[in-house]
Amino acid sequence: MESSVKRLDSDAEVPPEAFDDYIVDLDFHVNPLEDELLEYVDDERAYDKLTTEFGATPVMGKWDAAYGIKEGQEGLFTQGRAKYAEDVEEACEPLAIDEPIVNPGINNLNLQHHPVLKNAVCQAANDYMLDHFADEGMYTSMMIPKWDPDYAVAEIERVANENNIVAAYSWFDPKVPWGNERFDQVFEALVENDMPLLLHGSLAYWPQHSYIGDDMLTWTEVLGFDWPIHAMVTVVNMIMRGVFDKYPDLDVVIQEGGHWWVPFLRYRMDEFYEMHPEDVQITPRKMESGDRYLEKAPSEYLRENIYLCTQPFALPRNAGDAENLLDLSMAEDMFIYSSDWPHQTLDPATWFYTSRAFDDNTREQILNGNATEILDI
Amino acid sequence: MVDTDNFTKVAEVGDIPEGEGEGYDVNGIEIAVFNTGDDYYAISNRCSHQRAPLCKAGDEKINAEDTWTGERGGLNAEACTVSCPWHLWEWDLETGEHEASGQRIGTFDCVVDGDDILVRI
Ligand code: FES
């Protein structure tokens, strides 16, 4: 029999079926070069200080976790480094990503000491993204400072109405969780501008400033579990403290905070709340409204207001188990595909085509349905 | 003299630059062939972790000059391994093994016969 031999010269890196689907990627990182970013700082005094030898983010995130990565710190750029829209387009093509939602992932910014300089970097990042991405027709999430809710609102008012700005990007971390009432003005501005709040894991609070974190020595503990713990706490805090009763139209997306914990939260929150709901009335928002209870079972807010990015998916290999877990995790209502390009934890959309766990509807909801529901795209 | 029965020609010497790999579909089976300088090695083109195409290992990164390593995974000729372009799992080109997970992917005999690179599927 004649052998058939073909050179594989296609650029495609994911299964062919992926190119037939509409894929929205809600966590695509852009990494501007520092000097190009700082050119966008408006305030001359801030610019002067940010361009000293200390740079824009002088306090480094403690990155012990990189010992777990073959190329160490290079894990941040395993796939490359996107500076402009054309770089993103080039990266998305072989991965069948149709709609990357880009963010300026300066994830150690909230660790920095100086509030004025941090705000200046935030302003510069938003203007850089407007110039190089939003104005080039690419959907962009603007950055908002968690450390300064007043300034977050001012930035939302300045930037949110620009074309192609579709979400606000900030962080969950071990500091003040987002259920705190100080963030109400931010929620109000987001709802008014019809933008979801994307909360990403923060390099800034990697194992430091917390006793338990300081004893985490491995990548598996730190990225695998430290972030999800803070993500879970953030979500429960927002639900139980009545954020979504006050702002029912607010959508929150957790990025890189894990997703298979949904069944745990879902059943445990409801059980605990139903047994002992009497303290809800003395939380500040309920004190103000005079309501005694939450308006819904806690798990309902999970389904309606919270979304979780899927990367890294870590799908059980057994398709039956995976299907059950997707179902228990309300994946159809809560999961949104994300690649995390260009990091070591990259998640191309292969799972959806190599596992029999997904029916057409679940696959579509994760790849685009949930994202298009909350983003104006 | 190599007994080349049951081998299939996939390329010619010079087609695969030293230190790099190329992907081929041989009768529907995807393989990646790497040139370590001393030898050629053929391995399944699909990483068992998440099915990245191993023939892309060593491709230049986007804006490589602004990263530290410049390439996505790649061939380590001395260790006779290739690291996957997506998450850098390191595959032994002789045994097809990924040491940390114990997973194994297919490897194929690969010989040079004159100017031809042949693989036994
Ligand atoms: S797909 Fe190869 S290491 Fe993940």
Q: What is the CATH number of the domain that holds B18?
A: 2.102.10.10
Q: From the CA of B37, how many Å to the nearest CA of chain A? A: 21
Given A4, A73, A80, which is nearest B64 (Cβ)? Answer: A80
Q: Give yes or no for residue B2 having a pLDDT over 90.
A: no
Please give the sequence-ordered ranges of beta strands (E in DSSP) within chain A, or none if there are none. Answer: 5-7, 24-30, 99-104, 140-143, 165-172, 197-201, 252-255, 306-309, 335-336
Contact call for A81 and B52, based on CB within 8 A: no
Q: What is the number of CB-based contacts under 8 A between chain A and chain B?
A: 94
Ligand 1 atom with least separation from CA of B51 = 1
In a domain, B31, yes or no: yes
Rounded Cα distance, A122 and B107, in Å: 50
Do A88 and A100 meet the contact criterion of CB atoms below 8 Å apart?
A: yes
Is the Cβ atom of B50 under 6 angstroms away from ligand 1? yes
As given in the structure block, the two tokens for residue A105 are: 């992932």
In a domain, B2, yes or no: no
- Probe target for ligand 1 pocket from B43, B87, B105, with the most ligand atoms within 8 Å of CB: B87
| pLDDT of amino acid A349 | 97
Nearest residue (by CA) to ligand 1, atom 1, is: B50
| pLDDT of amino acid A117 | 96
Q: How many domains does chain B have?
A: 1
Rg value, chain A, Cα: 21
Question: Tokens 């300034």 label which residue?
Answer: A151
Q: HSE-up of A108 (CA within 13 Å, CB side)? A: 16
Rounded Cα distance, A61 and B108, in Å: 44
Tens digits of pLDDT across chain A (377 residues): 678 999 998 899 999 999 999 999 999 999 999 999 999 999 999 999 999 988 888 877 665 567 887 777 677 889 999 999 999 999 999 999 999 999 998 988 988 889 999 999 999 999 999 999 999 999 999 999 999 999 999 999 999 999 999 999 999 988 899 999 999 999 999 999 999 999 999 865 555 566 777 788 888 888 888 889 999 999 999 999 999 999 999 999 999 999 999 999 999 999 999 999 999 999 999 999 999 999 999 999 999 999 999 999 999 999 999 999 999 999 999 999 999 999 989 999 999 999 999 999 999 999 999 999 999 89
Name the pLDDT band for B68 (thresholds 50, 70, 90). Answer: confident
Do A87 and A28 meet the contact criterion of CB atoms below 8 Å apart?
A: no
Is the Cβ atom of B105 under 6 angstroms away from ligand 1? no
- Which residues lie below 8 Å from residue A188, measured CB to CB, with a gap of 6+? A153, A247
- Probe target for ligand 1 pocket from B30, B43, B45, B50, with the most ligand atoms within 8 Å of CB: B50
Q: What is the ipTM of this complex?
A: 0.94
| pLDDT of amino acid A266 | 98
Rounded Cα distance, A130 and A165, in Å: 8
| pLDDT of amino acid A105 | 82
As given in the structure block, the two tokens for residue B38 are: 């001393």
Question: Tokens 């579990």 label which residue?
Answer: A225
As given in the structure block, the two tokens for residue A275 are: 């047994």
Contact call for A71 and B72, based on CB within 8 A: no
| pLDDT of amino acid A65 | 64
Instruction: Please tell me the total number of residues recorded for chain B in this structure.
Output: 121
Closest CA to A176 of A166, A186, A167: A186
| pLDDT of amino acid A206 | 55
Given A71, A80, A348, which is nearest B50 (Cβ)? Answer: A348
In a domain, B50, yes or no: yes
Do A170 and A126 meet the contact criterion of CB atoms below 8 Å apart?
A: no
Residue A190's φ and ψ, nearest 5 degrees, are: -65, -45
Long-range pairs, B78-85, Cβ under 8 A, ≥24: B80/B36, B80/B41, B82/B21, B82/B32, B82/B34, B82/B43, B82/B54, B82/B57, B82/B58, B83/A70, B83/B57, B84/B47, B84/B49, B84/B52, B84/B54, B84/B57, B85/A13, B85/B52, B85/B53, B85/B54, B85/B56, B85/B57, B85/B58, B85/B59
pLDDT tens, residue by residue, B20-57: 999 999 999 999 999 999 999 999 999 999 999 999 99
Quote the domain boundaries for residue B55. 8-120
Tell me which amino acid residue B7 is: F
Do B90 and B47 meet the contact criterion of CB atoms below 8 Å apart?
A: no
- Which residues lie below 8 Å from residue A299, measured CB to CB, with a gap of 6+? A265, A266, A267, A269, A270
Rounded Cα distance, A37 and A40, in Å: 6
| pLDDT of amino acid A251 | 98
Tell me which amino acid residue A86 is: E
CA of B73 to the centre of ligand 1 (A): 10
In a domain, B108, yes or no: yes
Rounded Cα distance, A337 and A366, in Å: 6
In a domain, B89, yes or no: yes
Given A5, A80, A342, which is nearest B8 (Cβ)? Answer: A5
Could you tell me the domains of chain A? 18-374 (3.20.20.140)
- Which residues lie below 8 Å from residue A304, measured CB to CB, with a gap of 6+? A244, A248, A333
The secondary structure of A314-361 as a DSSP string is: ---SSHHHHHHHHHHTTHHHHEE----TTSTT---TTHHHH-TT--HH
Q: From the CA of A299, how many Å to the nearest CA of chain B? A: 32
Rounded Cα distance, B34 and A329, in Å: 42
CB atoms within 10 A of CB B63: 19
What SS3 state is found at A90? helix
What SS3 state is found at A237? helix
In a domain, B36, yes or no: yes
| pLDDT of amino acid A54 | 86
With left for phi above 0 and alpha for psi between -120 and 50, is residue A335 left, alpha or beta? beta
As given in the structure block, the two tokens for residue A255 are: 């990025």
Tell me the torsion sign for CA atoms B61, A82, A86, A311: positive
| pLDDT of amino acid A108 | 85
| pLDDT of amino acid A257 | 96
The secondary structure of A133-174 as a DSSP string is: TGGGT--EEEE--TT-HHHHHHHHHHHTTSTTEEEEEEEE-S
In a domain, B25, yes or no: yes
Contact call for A71 and B24, based on CB within 8 A: no
In a domain, B3, yes or no: no
